Amino acid sequence: MALGPRLDLRQSQSLVMTPQLQQAIKLLALSNLEIETFVGDALESNPLLEAGDLRSESGQSDDTGEAPAEPAADSLGADSLGAAGSGTDSLGGDGTAGDGLTAAEPALDIDRTAIDVDRDTGDGEWGAGGSGALADDLPSIEERGTGEKSLADHLHDQVGAVSRNTRDEFIAKYLIGLLDEAGYLRGQLREVASELSVSITDVERALDVVQSLDPTGVGARTLAECLALQAKELDRYDPCMARLIENLDLVAKGDFVRLKRMCDVDDEDFADMLGELREFDPKPGLAFGGAPETAVVPDVLIAPGDDDSWQIKLNEATLPRLVVNRSYFVELKDGCTDKESRGWLNEKLTDANWLIKALDQRRKTILKVASQIVKLQEGFFLKGVSELKPLTLREVAEEIDMHESTVSRVTSNKYLHCDRGTYEMKYFFTSGVGSSENEGGASSEAVKARIKALTDAEDPKKILSDDKLVELLKGEGFDIARRTVAKYREAMGIGSSVQRRRAKKLAAM
């Protein structure tokens, strides 16, 4: 076969991400507050854009670029965030999500009695079964973000109870003052001994006191020492784990072959050791006294309506509304006599119309996703976290005929407020664990709630081990492994049995 240059014509298709499409995708992932900032920038850069009133009694806008007989095509429409029912979406009796309402349209509600079966989990009626108790609920975001004390205050509260004498207590409190925000000791022990005119032995004994406090790992001088303290606390500091922690530089490099040889373990044990190492907190002090808490502003508001229904709407207080200033456009158009000026004006008009439509589509998409979440997780809104079901992004995407990535963007950085508190929308997407009573399994959040309830109610003299928690959970129908119980417990910030025993002993003093 002869080799040589030649010219071929071929047809192919490819998806090109235009700047406007990229911007529309970006808008989906922004929260209402971020949208407010984005719109503020757009108002400064585009003279044709104008902030409209959130509420319009007439249902029309004088500044839109369309005839007054219909909602403006280049704006959110006077009904979008204005008149009664605006910015609201619900599910009708057939369980389908609407695309948004106009001022003339009645609000559609979720009819609980009209939906009998959740085909995703195989459960019966949504309202059937379960406990109505609220004690199992996990704290809402509002409760989780209030009034935490600083790391130093937290340690000072403990140090007196564990010090052998006032001398050790005094030195320990001095060392606490040298801890950085992550909980690491940045001073040198010999310098401390010199400054306090005590022996190095006294300082080392006081450091042992600090390192025995909660959270485990504070007072460490290196990352390896911090991880070693946590491994010892959990009774996982065997010679193999010690060698792994001593060679964190090889862990960072990913030199696992050499590490397995040094630790003298097989692949399965080494994988378990790495998993345990990753569960340790490298900066235990950051759980206390961090940056000031910022208020969480919900993007979606959920409230019970009449006739066993739910009202679902966007938070209008943080959602800006844009319109095109028609009179200013006409004024500028009359003054544009050259081609370049007219081109600039038309470009600004196109950009303004596109942004308004993109914001409108974002609103409709958020309402669709929120409505589907309420439909699939209604048990949570009725009875609490014990009724939370396993749910994936794919399930919601298939129900509302959208791509999974779109649902992911919509639920990122957005919060939903209901009677039970304010929750991130991602909170309602949870993995499932086996359950002998539920064909679809139980939500991991429901299991976490039971673990929290069991540890909160445990007798301080009979602290529950992870093995005992597994036994109790299996008695309640949750088929779960010990390692999973430990993972869930640590994810919620619940200490080990040793830590809880010590904390409850201090609390009883």
Within 13 Å of residue 378, how many CA atoms lie on the same side as its CB?
Answer: 28
User: What is the per-residue pLDDT for 1?
Assistant: 53
* Confidence class for position 131, pLDDT limits 50, 70, 90: very low
Q: How many CB atoms lie within 10 A of CB 256?
A: 14
Within 13 Å of residue 354, how many CA atoms lie on the same side as its CB?
Answer: 16
Same domain for 258 and 195?
yes
Q: How far apart are CA 127 and CA 111, in angstroms?
A: 12
Strands 415-418 and 300-304, how do they pair? parallel
User: What is the per-residue pLDDT for 471?
Assistant: 86
Can you say whether the dihedral through the CA atoms of 35, 40, 44, 49 is positive or negative? positive
Q: How far apart are CA 393 and CA 426, in angstroms?
A: 9
Q: How far apart are CA 171 and CA 18, in angstroms?
A: 64
Establish if 220 belongs to a structural domain.
yes
Contact 64, 326 (CB under 8 A): yes
Strands 49-51 and 322-324, how do they pair? antiparallel
Position 255, amino acid: D
Q: Is residue 232 helix, strand or coil?
A: helix
User: What is the per-residue pLDDT for 225?
Assistant: 92
* Confidence class for position 219, pLDDT limits 50, 70, 90: very high
Tell if the pTM clears 0.75, that is, is over it: no
Establish if 204 belongs to a structural domain.
yes
* Confidence class for position 207, pLDDT limits 50, 70, 90: very high
CB-based burial label for 336 (10 Å; 0-12, 13-18, 19+): middle
Contact 111, 307 (CB under 8 A): yes
pLDDT top residue among 262 and 147: 262
Same domain for 378 and 503?
no
Same domain for 175 and 251?
yes
Q: How far apart are CA 108 and CA 85, in angstroms?
A: 9
Average pLDDT over residues 412-433: 82
Closest CA to 201 of 187, 217, 190: 190
CA angle, residues 240, 245, 251, in degrees to nearest 5: 105
Is the model's pLDDT at 60 over the cut of 70? no
Nearby residues of 21 by Cβ (< 8 Å), 6 or more positions away:
none
User: What is the per-residue pLDDT for 365?
Assistant: 92
Average pLDDT over residues 229-248: 88
pLDDT top residue among 493 and 92: 493
Contact 489, 450 (CB under 8 A): no
* Confidence class for position 86, pLDDT limits 50, 70, 90: very low
19-29 and 404-411 helices, crossing angle to 10°:
50
Establish if 53 belongs to a structural domain.
no
Closest CA to 302 of 84, 90, 34: 90
Question: Considering 287, 310, 344, which residue would you say is the last residue of a domain?
Answer: 287
Same domain for 400 and 437?
no
Average pLDDT over residues 471-484: 80
Measured CA to CA in angstroms, residue 213 lies from 158, 217, 233, 414 at distances of 7, 8, 11, 36
Closest CA to 87 of 372, 377, 305, 300: 300
Q: How far apart are CA 151 and CA 218, in angstroms?
A: 9
Establish if 132 belongs to a structural domain.
no
Same domain for 158 and 272?
yes
Mean pLDDT, all residues of the chain: 75
Contact 375, 91 (CB under 8 A): yes
- Measured in degrees and rounded to the nearest 5, phi and psi for residue 333 equal -65, -40
Establish if 9 belongs to a structural domain.
no
Can you say whether the dihedral through the CA atoms of 4, 9, 14, 17 is positive or negative? positive
65-74, 283-292, 324-333, 439-448: segment of lowest average pLDDT: 65-74
Is the model's pLDDT at 69 over the cut of 50? no
Q: Which two tokens stand for residue 83?
A: 């008149």
* Confidence class for position 439, pLDDT limits 50, 70, 90: very low
Question: Considering 226, 261, 287, which residue would you say is the last residue of a domain?
Answer: 287
Asked if residue 215 has a cis previous peptide bond (ω within 30° of 0), the answer is yes
Write out pLDDT tens, residues 6-59.
887 888 776 666 777 777 888 888 887 788 888 888 899 999 998 876 544 333
User: What is the per-residue pLDDT for 441?
Assistant: 56
Q: Percent of the chain scored above 90 by pLDDT?
A: 13
Within 13 Å of residue 316, how many CA atoms lie on the same side as its CB?
Answer: 18
Establish if 186 belongs to a structural domain.
yes
Q: Which residues pair with 329 in a beta bridge?
A: none
Closest CA to 362 of 100, 92, 16, 51: 100
Q: Mean pLDDT: which of 252-266, 281-295, 439-453 is highest?
A: 252-266
Q: Which domain holds residue 225?
A: 151-287
CATH number at residue 474: 1.10.10.60
Same domain for 166 and 279?
yes
Same domain for 445 and 323?
no
Closest CA to 390 of 71, 150, 46, 123: 123
Same domain for 164 and 269?
yes
* Confidence class for position 294, pLDDT limits 50, 70, 90: low
Q: If you write DSSP's letter for every residue of 125-168 in order, what string do you get?
A: -TTSSS---STTPPPPHHHHTS-PPPHHHHHHHHHHHH-SSHHH
User: What is the per-residue pLDDT for 184?
Assistant: 92
Same domain for 403 and 367?
yes
Establish if 477 belongs to a structural domain.
yes
Same domain for 312 and 267?
no
Write out pLDDT tens, residues 352-396.
999 999 999 999 999 999 999 999 888 888 888 777 788 888 889
Determine what percent of the chain falls in helix, strand and coil, rounding each to the nearest 5.
50, 10, 45
Establish if 330 belongs to a structural domain.
yes
Same domain for 417 and 462?
no
Number of domains the chain contains? 3
50-64, 67-81, 333-347: segment of lowest average pLDDT: 67-81
Nearby residues of 264 by Cβ (< 8 Å), 6 or more positions away:
240
Same domain for 259 and 318?
no
Nearby residues of 40 by Cβ (< 8 Å), 6 or more positions away:
320
Question: Considering 266, 287, 308, which residue would you say is the last residue of a domain?
Answer: 287
